[in-house]
Structure 1
Amino acid sequence: MKLQDAYYEQRFENLFLRAKGNEFQAFFERLMGLAYKANFMACRPWGREGDRKNDGFLKSERRLFQVYAPNEMEAKKAIAKITEDFEGAKVHWGKHFDKWAFVHNAMDGLPPHTHGLILDFEKDNPGIELEPWGLEELRLVFRKLSPEDLASWFGPAPTEETKTKLGFKEIQVVLESLAGKALPADATVKAVPPGKIKANDLSESVATLIKNGMMKTPLVSAFLDAWHDETLGDRLAVAFRKRYEHLRETVRPNRIFSKLQTWIGGSERGAPEHEMAVLTVLAYYFERCDIFEEPKDTRP
């Protein structure tokens, strides 16, 4: 995967993981609108009639969508939602669709009972194909987007040229910002063991970003060697570790990576040069301290 593609896909994954409720609905509509243009028809609620169980329609495929993205996915509520929405869709839109997609934000997929319900509905409704759509189905749509669409949504991305031209100045801006944070005084830094990326089940896009950042980590070493406070590097390592341990309690690895990016570089995404510098600093501490888990020793 190319650096630019990995950057955009990681931003997409992060949006999927973060969005709930109406925000997820807007995320879905933007994705489908960019991918399919006028072929996708978004449907807005209208007065007391609502959306008549239609969260979007893909004309060329006669596919009707219903979106469900609660804060917590519960089997009982999901089953009730699927039943209500599918039966309502047949009443209002039955003559228009042959495929019905239930779009959800459950990272681990829908509970088994909901899969059984969908299969039962499909059996009882010959001629209608029912589909659960989660992250991987939406990822396939995302990969249809043109470079222009991606840039319009997420802004410019770091490229191979950005990485090649990355210099001491960009690294300095990021590390000086971190130096201004309150950092622990004690520090013990460990070397990264091989296989760490795989051990943490990081996505292909995140792994690509880390590997590209690692190519420029000598710049971080050079800055820290020249910094007037020789303890800064180790104190930053401890700060990274504590931040990671706090996030690890409730957040998945890919989302942790994103939150660490924000912690390093700020909530407002910067220019490609700034983004590349953030990735480089994050990769440096991925290599040298306890952010993310070490691979288990499988030797007998």
Structure 2
Amino acid sequence: MNLEQAYYEQKFENAFLRARGNAFQDLFERIMGLAYRVDFMASRPWGSRGDRKNDGFLKSERRLFQVYAPNEMTESKAIAKITEDFEGAKVHWREHFDKWTFVHNADGLPPHVMKLLSDFENENMGITLEPWGLEELRLVFRRLSREDLQSWFGPAPTKETRLGFEDLRIVLERIAAQNAPSDQTVQDVPMGKIEANALSESVAVFLKAGMTKAPLVEEFFARWHDPGLGEKIAESFSTQYESLRKEFTPNKIFSELQDWAEGQDRGTSEHKLAVLAVLAYYFERCDIFEEPWEHGD
């Protein structure tokens, strides 16, 4: 996986994890529409008729979709939803579909839900039932063209992206403006830190790309008129990291730190690479993320 691929896949995963309700259906329709174009037919409720248990149809595969993304999914509600929607789909669309797909945003489905899907498939010969979650939609997302990805998420940093001091200055000055306590300590970088924090391949790609530019960050601090700038930013990163680690996984923490450092603007590829360089610099210094355990600890 190269840097550009890692960047866009992380953006997709963040969008997937954050979307709920109608926002999740919008996300699903956008991905499917970009990936399959006119082959995919989106469907929305229409007056008193509703959506007739159809949240989208992929013509070439005769695949009917039902999307379900509540704020919190419970087993009983999921079973009731699947039962109602599948039985309704057979009433309204049976002659049109051979595959029925339950699209969800849960971190895996409970066993009773999986059994229900299997039972329905066994009881309805000629119909294949499939659950689609993050990984299935990720495969669809990988069909998108570079133009589609850039239109959606903006330009991605690549190995060819040139990075100058001005790009770093914009990022560093913004982070330096954040309020943070001054009691954080800076530690030496340990080996095996990516593995110790169970960070994904995408994050590893980001950090390795950033580390190639990280010496620029150190040089920047050496030249900057405020000799304490580097430590001020270290404190901001440490504080932000500590607030995130209470509720997020390591990969999500990295993503949140990246978004926090980038700011509200989408930015250029140079700006995004500057953010990765700063993240890698402080990752290597151990201001963010955990040190690997040593044997005997």
Indicate whether the TM-score tops 0.5.
yes
Does 186-195 or 208-217 show the bigger shift?
A: 186-195
Task: Report which stretch shifted further, 86-95 or 232-241.
Answer: 232-241
Corresponding residue of 2:10: 10
Match of 1:190 in 2: 187
State the 1:183 CA deviation: 3.0
- Equivalent pair of 1:237/1:289 in contact (CA under 8 Å): no
Q: Are positions 1:240 and 2:240 aligned together? A: no
Looking at structure 1, the residues matched to 249 and 91 of structure 2 have their Cα atoms a distance apart, in angstroms, of: 40
Q: Which moved more, 1:229-238 or 1:280-289?
A: 229-238
| Amino acid in structure 2 at the alignment position of 1:232 | L
Alpha-carbon distance in structure 1 between the residues aligned to 2:251 and 2:28: 20
Among 260, 263, 283, the residue aligned to 1:263: 260
Deviation at 1:181? 1.9
- Report the equivalent of 1:177: 174
What letter matches 1:110 in structure 2?
Answer: L
Question: How far does residue 156 in structure 1 lie from its aligned partner after superposition?
Answer: 1.5
Query: In the aligned structure 2, how far is the partner of 1:199 from the partner of 1:110?
Result: 28
Query: 5+ unaligned residues in a row in structure 2: which ranges?
Result: none
TM-superposed CA distance for 1:264, in Å, is 1.2
Distance 2:95 2:108 in 1: 29
Please say if residues 196 and 291 of structure 2, whose CA atoms lie closer than 8 Å, have aligned partners that are also in contact. yes
Amino acid at match of 2:278: V
Partner of 1:217: 214
Please report how far the alpha carbon of residue 196 of structure 1 lies from its aligned counterpart in structure 2 after TM superposition. 1.8
Q: Which residue of 1 is the match for residue 77 of structure 2?
A: 77
Cα-to-partner distance string for 1:179-222 (whole Å, 9 max, x where unaligned) = 22223223311123222222323232222112101110011101
Change (3 A) 1:293 1:125: farther
Gaps of 5+ in 1: none
Q: Percent identity?
A: 67
Please give the secondary structure, in 1, of the residue aligned with 2:160. helix
Higher mean displacement: 30-39 or 217-226 = 217-226
Aligned residues: 297
- In the TM superposition, residue 65 of structure 1 has moved relative to its aligned partner by 0.6
Matched residue SS, 1:126? coil
Q: CA deviation at 1:299?
A: 5.8
Alpha-carbon separation, structure 2, partners of 1:235 and 1:277: 18
Determine the structure 2 residue equivalent to 1:155. 154
Question: Is residue 2:86 matched to residue 1:89?
Answer: no
Structure 2: how far apart are the matches of 1:183 and 1:254?
23
Q: Is the 8 A contact 2:101 2:131 kept in 1?
A: yes
Kept in 1: contact 2:180–2:239 (CA 8 A): no
**Alignment partners' CA distance in 1, 2:126 and 2:30:** 29
Between the aligned partners of 1:295 and 1:131, the Cα distance in structure 2 is 39
Rounded to whole Å, the distance in 2 between the matches of 1:102 and 1:293 is: 38
- CA-to-partner distance for each residue in 1:128-148, whole Å, 9 max, x for gaps? 111010111011111111111
- In the alignment, the residues of structure 2 paired with residue 93 and residue 58 of structure 1 have an alpha-carbon distance, to the nearest angstrom, of 13
Distance of 1:239 and 1:156 partners within structure 2:
27
Check whether the contact 1:187–1:235 (CA below 8 A) recurs between aligned residues. Answer: no
Indicate conservation of the 8 Å contact 2:3/2:158, yes or no: yes
Alignment deviations for residues 163-194 of structure 1 (CA, whole Å, 9 cap, x no partner): xx212221111112222222322331112322
How many Å apart are 1:292 and its aligned residue? 2.2
TM score, norm. by length of structure 1: 0.94
1-side partners of 2:159 and 2:219: how far apart?
22
TM-score relative to the length of structure 2: 0.95
Residue 216 of structure 1: SS of its match in structure 2? Answer: helix
The residue aligned with 2:122 is: 123
* 2:101–2:129 contact (8 Å) kept in structure 1: yes
Q: 1:14 to 1:197 in 2, by over 3 A?
A: same
Q: Distance in 2 between matches of 1:293 and 1:125?
A: 51
Q: Which residue of 2 aligns with 1:111?
A: 110
Helix, strand or coil at the partner of 2:100: strand
